[in-house]
Amino acid sequence: MMEPERNRSHTIKTIGGLVAVLVVFLILPLFLPLGWLSLVNEMIILALAACGLNLMLGYAGMVSFGPAGLYAVGAYTTALILYYTEIPFGLALIAGPVSAAIASVIIGWFCVRLTHVYFALLTLAFAQIIHTIVFEWYGFTKGDDGIVDIPVPAFLESITTYYYFSFIIVCICLALMWMIVNSPFGKTLQALRENPERTEFIGINVRLYQLSAFVLSGFFLGTAGSLFCGFNKNVFPNYAHWMKSTEMLVVCLLGGVYNFFGPVVGSIVYILLDKVITSFTQYWPLVLGLVVLALLLFLKGGIAGFISEKIAAHRESRGKGERNV
């Protein structure tokens, strides 16, 4: 088989696989009880947040310890608007990611001036500042009591309806991210990840590209936060806690940071592990630590990365066999 034909065949199989996955998610409400459907909804929202983080982590090579801060900005913006005003739900939902993107511009302007561990620690510091604000500003954010009973439209009160609503928005966001990472902008980010010094030498404004990646990541993190706010109908300061940031980082590592769908796979595995292991033992963090350790030692590319490598190796060996024939 000629190379163009193999590539075309691979593309057709990839598209067919994606369509099959979409169909499975679309028909899940027909088979799953509401409790499990709620869990799947949580998976896809977490997947969106992790994919947003991975724009920085996997594609731009910027390790952030504070994605939960931007996630919380989106969630609290939507919650506060719905709680204190009569603004429609749709506009409040849009305001969340927009506010997170604006916050990203301000935070990113400071953070991208630093590199490596200093960048990571500064993002963590800003996330903790956001956590402290929502925790201490009791008169406005209700502090550690959180904002509960957030009003949502009647048609979204059903778990099944909100699942489809979340699924559509997550699919749109993933499609946008796919276009971004496969655009010249996305290829430039990958060049920055591999060698920022050489990229700067050819005339590319490294800090501007890093800031752009930071803002785009913040926008999608804010979208996930707003979606979860409407789904859960409440927000609490732990949305901005460093443990939430750790959860997103672990999801990316589980799935694989150098694979676009890695965070999606990671979110499914993470939530299922959480659900199964906590039903047997209270030592979930210990088990999670062992899982992450095993991944770092044996599956450095994550689950999705390992599967992709096996598929690529199989295609290569099959191609060699066909050429020998």
**Tens of each residue's pLDDT in the chain, 325 residues:** 445 555 565 566 667 777 888 888 888 888 888 888 999 999 999 999 999 999 999 898 899 999 999 999 999 999 999 999 889 999 999 999 999 999 999 999 999 888 788 899 999 999 999 999 999 988 898 888 889 889 888 888 899 999 999 999 999 999 999 999 999 999 999 998 888 888 888 888 889 999 999 999 999 999 999 999 999 899 999 999 888 998 999 899 888 888 888 899 999 888 888 887 777 777 777 877 787 777 777 777 788 877 777 776 666 666 555 555 5
pLDDT in tens, 181-202: 999 999 999 998 888 888 888 8
Residues 242, 64 contacting (CB under 8 angstroms):
no
Task: Check residue 313 and give its pLDDT.
Answer: 67
Q: Could you give the number of structural domains in the chain?
A: 1
Task: Check residue 134 and give its pLDDT.
Answer: 93
- Does residue 154 sit within a domain? yes
For the whole model, what pTM was predicted? Answer: 0.91
Instruction: Compute, in degrees rounded to 10, the torsion defined by CA atoms 296, 302, 308, 313.
Output: 10
Among residues of the chain, what percentage have pLDDT more than 70?
91
Q: Domain span at residue 220? A: 29-240
Instruction: Compute, in degrees rounded to 10, the torsion defined by CA atoms 51, 52, 57, 60.
Output: 120
- Does residue 120 sit within a domain? yes
Question: For 17, phi and psi rounded to 5 degrees?
Answer: -65, -45
- Does residue 214 sit within a domain? yes
Question: For 2, phi and psi rounded to 5 degrees?
Answer: -70, 160
- Does residue 291 sit within a domain? no
- Does residue 260 sit within a domain? no
- Give 192's contacts (C-beta < 8 A, 6+ positions apart): 60, 61, 199, 204, 206, 209, 210
- Does residue 255 sit within a domain? no
pLDDT in tens, 291-313: 777 777 777 778 887 777 777 66
- Alpha-carbon gap, residue 84 to 179, rounded angstroms: 36
Task: Check residue 164 and give its pLDDT.
Answer: 94
- Does residue 19 sit within a domain? no
- Does residue 266 sit within a domain? no
